[in-house]
Amino acid sequence: MALTEHELRSLDYEPDAGGHFGDYGGRYVSETLMAALSELDQNYQKLKNDPDFQREFDADLASFVGRPSPLYHAERWSKAVGGAQIYFKREDLNHTGAHKVNNTIGQALLAKYSGKPRVIAETGAGQHGVATATVAARLGLECVVYMGADDVERQSPNVYRMKLLGAKVVPVESGSRTLKDALNEAMRDWVTNVDDTFYIIGTVAGPAPYPQLVRDFNAVVGRELKWQSKELFGKYPDALVACVGGGSNAIGMFYPFLKDTEVAVYGVEAAGRGLSTNEHAAPLCSGRPGVLHGAKTYLMDNSDGQIAHTHSVSAGLDYPGVGPEHAYLKDIGRANYVGATDDEALAAFHEVSKVEGIIPALETAHALAYTKKLAATMRPDQTVVCNMSGRGDKDIFTVAKMEGISLT
């Protein structure tokens, strides 16, 4: 139910003790995982206010990732679109090429402080897998990455990167052979090896406390944007736009602004071949509440409650659920969720590459497609910031193949 602006300003936007954001989130898991999740929760609640932990996290973000990431004025594109001034928050310039590393550094440090020598992860596009393998290599942790067998095929450069970094990549053949199946398999590994293993989840989905801690580690994006926007144009942005698969780059940018209701917030889901078809990955736009992977949230299922096979041109958005905090923000009316189709994303991918000299990730291209629509409806003295969540090097093979071009 939508809340009033006054109510939206006075919320604290924190989950309750059980990890619920309103009706969503929580810990819908088998008893076999409860002890591990409570231990993680206790460790996290203690460490998030520990000055040594925070200092090490901040230092790694500065010297290993290269933060702060710049806030960039896309001047030529703004002029071409002919509306608001468009800015990019350059997460694509991070080490490993996406926002994902903010979270993996945080969780790998949690693993280190919790005395777990082995880390596991699931990955869709491979960005989270690479980001996990990267920090595991740096901290000397054993690393196993689960990846849907279809994704292994469509993202072979990232599979090779993970192997170079010393990680073992396990293709998952079950179910739809994509991200959700990789997540199932990683959970199974964790239940079996919980004593020595830390599960580094790649997005704000899953059971509590993951949605909260992944958000907190990515919130550095929004915190930087607050001072950068004041510095660059003297006020907060009028609108924020980010793509939403699980939703970690989006919540990372949105969260520090949630009480600032003058800042409009847009999450862009993968509308695939169109929201009116069954071939998309947009649970907030056209799914319904249910329970998947340990949390209550919006998801895509059939009339019998079986999880749907999703479609998106972008492997990183090809997921039938979404972080529970997004479900909450949708229901209370603080954030707007919209879709961008495969075709719209591909058009934005080409346009921004040519006009701004930045090849965006296909995930990010969904946010860019909506940014263009939105900016065109706004005045030139207004600003919209799009989270340039990842770079597109990993996607050039996919795009070339779709366009009938052979790169070999």
Q: Provide the binding-site residues for another protein, judged by CB under 8 A.
A: 18, 26-36, 38, 174-175, 180, 183-184, 187-188, 191-192, 194-195, 289-294, 296, 299, 301, 303-307
Which is nearer to another protein, 34 or 164 (by Cβ)? 34
Taking residue 277's Cβ as centre, other Cβ atoms within 10 Å add up to 11
Exactly one of 89, 100, 180, 372 is catalytic; name it. 100
Looking at residue 360, the DSSP 8-state letter turns out to be B
Beta strand segments in 59-172, E: 71-73, 85-89, 118-123, 142-148, 168-172
Which is nearer to another protein, 206 or 360 (by Cβ)? 206
Nearest-angstrom CA–CA distance, 27 and 22: 13
Closest to 158 measured CA to CA, from 247, 218, 238, 98:
98
3-state secondary structure of 230: helix
- HSE value, Cβ hemisphere, 13 Å, CA-based, for 378: 23
Looking at residue 315, the DSSP 8-state letter turns out to be G
Contact 305, 39 (CB under 8 A): no
63 classed as catalytic? no
116 classed as catalytic? no
Which is nearer to another protein, 185 or 363 (by Cβ)? 185
CB of 308 to another protein, least distance (A): 8
CB of 38 to another protein, least distance (A): 8
Exactly one of 69, 89, 112, 122 is catalytic; name it. 122
Contact 240, 385 (CB under 8 A): yes
Which is nearer to another protein, 178 or 249 (by Cβ)? 178
100 classed as catalytic? yes
Task: Provide, for the chain, the percentages of residues in helix, strand and coil under a 3-state DSSP scheme, each rounded to the nearest 5.
Answer: 45, 20, 35
- DSSP code string of 272-311: ET-TTSS--B-HHHH-EEEEETTEEEEE-B-TTSPBPPP-
Which is nearer to another protein, 18 or 157 (by Cβ)? 18
3-state secondary structure of 175: coil
Question: In one letter, which amino acid is 354?
Answer: K
- H-helix or E-strand spanning residue 347: helix 342-356
Exactly one of 69, 78, 229, 389 is catalytic; name it. 389
Closest to 279 measured CA to CA, from 265, 263, 260, 300:
300
Which is nearer to another protein, 182 or 242 (by Cβ)? 182
Which is nearer to another protein, 276 or 303 (by Cβ)? 303
CB of 85 to another protein, least distance (A): 43
> CA torsion, points 154, 364, 307, 34, in degrees to nearest 10?
100
CB of 41 to another protein, least distance (A): 12
Contact 87, 384 (CB under 8 A): yes
CB of 30 to another protein, least distance (A): 4
CB of 337 to another protein, least distance (A): 21
Which is nearer to another protein, 192 or 377 (by Cβ)? 192
Nearest-angstrom CA–CA distance, 314 and 312: 5
Contact 268, 366 (CB under 8 A): yes
> Which residues are catalytic, by number?
100, 122, 389
